[in-house]
Amino acid sequence: MRSQKKKKKRTWLKVTGIVLLLLLVAVGVYGFTVYKSLTNAVDTMHQPVERKQSEKRPEPVALEKKEPFSVLMLGVDERQGDRGRSDSIIVLTVNPNNNSVKMLSIPRDTRTEIIGKGIEDKINHAYAFGGVAMSMDTVENFLDIPIDYYVQINMEGFKDIVNAVGGVTVNNDLDFTYEGVHFTKGELQLNGEKALKYSRMRYEDPRGDFGRQLRQRQIIQAVIKEGASLSSLTNFSNIFTALGNNVKTNLTFDQMIDIQSNYKTAGNNIQQMEIKSQGTKINGVYYGIVSAEEKQRVQSELKAQLELQ
């Protein structure tokens, strides 16, 4: 009897050991598959930008040392045979020491000096004139802070990213209809197509472009939240494919790993910022004029976030 019991115990130990081994192998294969898909997507997304080292950042930011950094996000409507314009301009400043991300929307009609062009124009025209590099230089000059990295998103393809994370949930504070879709007040579940429309409407909003910027930031925050959730892990392939097809960035794979390791808690505290401007027409063209006082206020807040003061 004892020998039979021992045999049964050994059998169950073997079975348990084999099951555990298979699970570990499965997880290892799954992990490798995720890793391979991620590295392929990052290789596709990675697009270095040629620009001089900023005077505002004499040495490149050291992510491994947990230094605060900034990212310029450009939402671009690409047109056939045309570079397009950056219709959405958002600056993220990330500080792991106070565990926060400050997200600033810059109205696309903001009048400022276009660095490298030698003229004053709408800030979103910098992309049309000189692509990502001129956009980074122009925003850097406007805000008087270093712009370390960029992320360019093809807005038409942004709906694929939203769909890949399973849609997003937002809290809508304005009842409106846009391009045949009615958006009621309150909590909304949006797929990619509806999320894109939700983020684009501005003429029915009494806040104008500021209301649109608010909705854009809502969608981005919701995508980050959904993308970081455990439920998205099973859909990693679609997510990475959507990112690879629609996102360009100068961040390398190693830098992304450093950010994930050293800055992830900061992403739980995203604070939205606005810059106020006064609408006016100059030579028949509409511009947003930012006062010196307002510019100073925003610059001071961002410099403090980046620990430059």
| All residues at 6 or more sequence positions from 189 whose CB lies less than 8 Å from its CB, including other chains | 167, 168, 169
Lowest mean pLDDT among 10-19, 89-98, 245-254, 279-288: 10-19
CB burial string 85-108: b at 16+ within 10 A, e below: bbbbbbbbbbbbeeebbbbbbbbb
Q: What pLDDT does residue 271 have?
A: 87
Given this model, what pLDDT does residue 284 score? 93
User: What is the average pLDDT across 239-254?
Assistant: 84
SS3 assignment for the chain? CHHHHHHHHHHHHHHHHHHHHHHHHHHHHHHHHHHHHHHHHHHHHECCCCCCCCCCCCCCCCHHHCCCEEEEEEEEEEECCEEEEEEEEEEEEEECCCCEEEEEECCCCEEEEECCCCEEEECCHHHHHHHHHHHHHHHHHHHCCCCCEEEEEEHHHHHHHHHHCCCEEEEECCCEEECCEEECCEEEEECHHHHHHHHHCCCCCCCCHHHHHHHHHHHHHHHHHHHCCHHHHHHHHHHHHHHHHHEEECCCHHHHHHHHHHHHHHHHCEEEEECCCEEEEECCEEEEECCHHHHHHHHHHHHHHCCCC
**pLDDT tens column, 202-237:** 888 888 777 887 888 888 878 877 766 655 555 667
Q: Which is more confidently placed, 193 or 232?
A: 193
Residue 58 has pLDDT above 80, yes or no: yes
Quick one: what percent of the chain has pLDDT higher than 70? 82
Stretch 39-54: mean pLDDT, rounded? 82
> How many other CB atoms sit within 10 Å of the CB of residue 58?
8
Token readout for 131 is: 């692509």
Q: 149, 211 in Cβ contact below 8 A?
A: no
Split at pLDDT 50, 70, 90, the class of 78 is low
Among 109, 92, 118, smallest CA distance to 263 is for 92
Mind listing the pLDDT tens digit for each residue in 7-26? 555 555 555 555 555 555 55
Q: Which residues of 40-51 are buried (b: 16+ CB within 10 A; e: fewer)?
A: ebbeebbeeeeb
Q: What is the pLDDT of residue 39?
A: 74
What's the Cα-to-Cα distance from 177 to each of 17, 183, 212, rounded to whole Å?
Answer: 59, 6, 14
Confidence class of residue 182 from pLDDT cuts 50, 70 and 90?
very high
Average the pLDDT over each of 98-102, 179-183, 221-225, 280-284 and give the range with the smallest value: 221-225
pLDDT for position 31: 55
Q: Is the pLDDT of residue 30 over 60?
A: no
Q: State pLDDT tens for residues 80-124.
A: 555 666 778 989 999 999 999 998 989 989 999 999 999 999 999
pLDDT higher than 50, residue 27: no
Q: Please, what is the Cα angle at 76 between 125 and 56, to 5 degrees? A: 60
What is the maximum span of the chain, computed from C-alpha positions, in angstroms? 101
In terms of residues, how long is the chain? 309
Residue 2 has pLDDT above 80, yes or no: no
- The whole-model pTM stands at 0.78
pLDDT, mean of residues 183-197: 92
Confidence of residue 172 (pLDDT cuts 50, 70, 90): very high
Q: Is the Cβ–Cβ distance between 28 and 20 less than 8 Å?
A: no
Picking from 216, 172, 220, 236, the residue whose alpha carbon sits closest to that of residue 35 is 236
Rounded CA separation 168/225 (Å): 9
Sketch out the chain's domains with CATH numbers: 63-305 (3.40.630.190)
Q: Which position has the higher pLDDT, 246 or 195?
A: 195
Considering the chain, what is the average pLDDT of its residues? Answer: 83
| Lowest mean per-residue pLDDT among 32-46, 136-150, 166-180 | 32-46
User: Token pair 């509409």 is at which residue?
Assistant: 286
